[in-house]
Structure 1
C-alpha cells in the first residue's frame, strides 16, 4: 500500500512528546481560513511512498528520539488515508516506535467501514493531537467550511475508550479569541476524561505566501496575531484556571 505524502520533517519538537519524525499526508476536506499548509489540500498531489519506506527513513533519527519520541502523522488530514495510516502505525508498533496522530477528526463517523477501521487504528495509536477549531457549530462552519458535530462526537468517543488526547486550539482574534467561546470550549473539555494537555496556538500569517502562490484569496489578511495577554487569558480559561 502506498500513501500520498506531502512532506516529512526529521526533528519535530512541537507535535507530540519528545523529538519526532513528522509525516504530513496530502489531502484535506477542511478549508480552514487560517491554514498554513494550504498546499496540502489537493488529493491528487504529493509523493507516493510505502509505510516501510517512511519508517526506514524515520529510524535513521531514532537515536535522537529519547524515551518519548517517535513518529507523528499529520496533514492535510491523515484520516482521509486511514487504510495507509493503519498499516503505517501497525508496522511502527511492530518496530517499537511510538505513534501519534495529529488530526482535525473531520472524517470521523460511527457508520460504515470507517468506524471499524478507526477502532483498529486506535489500537495502534499512542496519542491523538486533536484540534478544536471552534466550539460553536455555525462559527465552525464559517471558519472551516465543515460542521463540528462529528468532530465533537469523535472526542467523546476517544474519551470513552480512554485514548490519550492533547487538545489544540488556534487562537484567532475576533473569531476564536472570544471569552464566551473559550468558556464553552472549556466546558466541553471538562466533560472529557482523557485530555492530558491543552495547547493554545496563536494565529500567525507564516503560510499566507502559499495562498498567494496558489491564487487563493486569503480572507484573514487584516487579522493580527493575538497579544501575549490574550494567549495567557485563553490558556487560563481552557485549563480551568479562570472564571
Structure 2
C-alpha cells in the first residue's frame, strides 16, 4: 500500500473546513509562496512520518466522536502531490460516513488527482492571485493550472470553498479583488469565499529552516481594508467567511 509522507496531525482543527475536523498535514508542495506559513512542509524528504492510509485512518478513528459534526481535512504542503495516498485515506473515511475535504492550490491536475477528488466532499481551493504575473511572483508557478482545476470542479459539481489571502501592497488591490470576484461569481459549485487577512505568524519557520522571509516588514492587513475586501466579494453575491 502506498505510504504517505506526513508532516503532522491536528486532532481539533476549526479553520480547515466546516465543523471540528481532524487535519492531516502532508509533506511536499510544488509552490513556494512568499507568505507561506507552512514552509517546513515544502520538501517531501523532510517528512516526519511515513504512514499507510490505514495507519492514518486508525488514528483518525480515535477522535471520531469529536469530529462527527465536522470531518477530516487533508492539507499540507499540497496533499495532491500524493494523490494515491489521499484517495485511499478519503475512501476509508467515506466508508465510515466521515465528511472529507482536500485543501490544495489546484496546481497538480491529472487522472490520479481526479480519482482522489471523487472521495472528497469538499475542496478548499487556494487562489493566491487572479493576475498571472503576480501569481507567479508570489508562488513561483503559473496560474493557469489552478484555473483549469477550478473549472473542472465546476464541471463535475464538486462543492468548493475558495481561499484568498489579502496582502497589503500586493493582493490588497481593489482592481484585482474585483477581477477575482467577477471570475468566481459564475461558479455555481462555490459555497463560500474565505477572505484571509495577511499575517506573518509563520515567519519564524522560515528562520528555523535557514531562509529569509520574503515579505519581511509588511504590516498586517488593517481592519478597514479587510472589510473592504470582503465587501467586494459580497457585492458579487458571493458568500464570504
Corresponding pairs, count: 235
State the secondary structure of the residue aligned to 2:148.
helix
- Hey, what does 1:166 align to over in structure 2? 161
For 2:212 and 2:234, locate their aligned partners in 1 and report how far apart those are by CA, in whole Å. Answer: 35
- Hey, what does 1:55 align to over in structure 2? 57
For 2:10 and 2:39, locate their aligned partners in 1 and report how far apart those are by CA, in whole Å. Answer: 17
Q: CA shift at 1:241, angstroms?
A: 5.5
Residue 235 (structure 1) aligned with residue 222 (structure 2): no
Unmatched 5+ stretches in structure 2: none
For 2:208 and 2:90, locate their aligned partners in 1 and report how far apart those are by CA, in whole Å. Answer: 34
Instruction: Kindly provide the CA deviation profile for residues 117-154 of structure 1, in whole angstroms up to 9, marking residues without a partner as x.
Output: 23322221100001110000000000100111010111
Q: CA shift at 1:91, angstroms?
A: 1.4
For 2:225 and 2:236, locate their aligned partners in 1 and report how far apart those are by CA, in whole Å. Answer: 14
Of 5-14 and 93-102, more deviation after overlay is shown by: 93-102
Does structure 1 retain, via aligned residues, the 8 Å contact 2:160–2:189? Answer: yes
Q: CA shift at 1:63, angstroms?
A: 1.2
- Hey, what does 2:86 align to over in structure 1? 85
Unmatched 5+ stretches in structure 1: 109-113
State the secondary structure of the residue aligned to 2:191.
strand
Does structure 2 retain, via aligned residues, the 8 Å contact 1:36–1:206? Answer: yes
For 1:41 and 1:233, locate their aligned partners in 2 and report how far apart those are by CA, in whole Å. Answer: 32
- Hey, what does 2:115 align to over in structure 1? 120
Does structure 1 retain, via aligned residues, the 8 Å contact 2:185–2:236? Answer: no
For 1:14 and 1:133, locate their aligned partners in 2 and report how far apart those are by CA, in whole Å. Answer: 18
Of 232-241 and 156-165, more deviation after overlay is shown by: 232-241
- Hey, what does 1:111 align to over in structure 2? none
- Hey, what does 1:96 align to over in structure 2? 97
Does structure 2 retain, via aligned residues, the 8 Å contact 1:198–1:239? Answer: no
For 1:174 and 1:119, locate their aligned partners in 2 and report how far apart those are by CA, in whole Å. Answer: 36
For 1:123 and 1:144, locate their aligned partners in 2 and report how far apart those are by CA, in whole Å. Answer: 27
Residue 44 (structure 1) aligned with residue 48 (structure 2): no
- Hey, what does 2:213 align to over in structure 1? 218
Q: CA shift at 1:27, angstroms?
A: 0.6
Q: CA shift at 1:13, angstroms?
A: 0.6
For 1:90 and 1:81, locate their aligned partners in 2 and report how far apart those are by CA, in whole Å. Answer: 14
- Hey, what does 1:32 align to over in structure 2? 33
- Hey, what does 1:197 align to over in structure 2? 192
Instruction: Kindly provide the CA deviation profile for residues 79-118 of structure 1, in whole angstroms up to 9, marking residues without a partner as x.
Output: 100111011111111122111000011112xxxxx22x23
- Hey, what does 2:107 align to over in structure 1? 106
- Hey, what does 2:137 align to over in structure 1? 142
For 1:136 and 1:7, locate their aligned partners in 2 and report how far apart those are by CA, in whole Å. Answer: 32
Does structure 2 retain, via aligned residues, the 8 Å contact 1:103–1:128? Answer: yes
- Normalising to structure 2: TM-score of the pair? 0.94
For 2:214 and 2:116, locate their aligned partners in 1 and report how far apart those are by CA, in whole Å. Answer: 36
For 1:234 and 1:6, locate their aligned partners in 2 and report how far apart those are by CA, in whole Å. Answer: 32
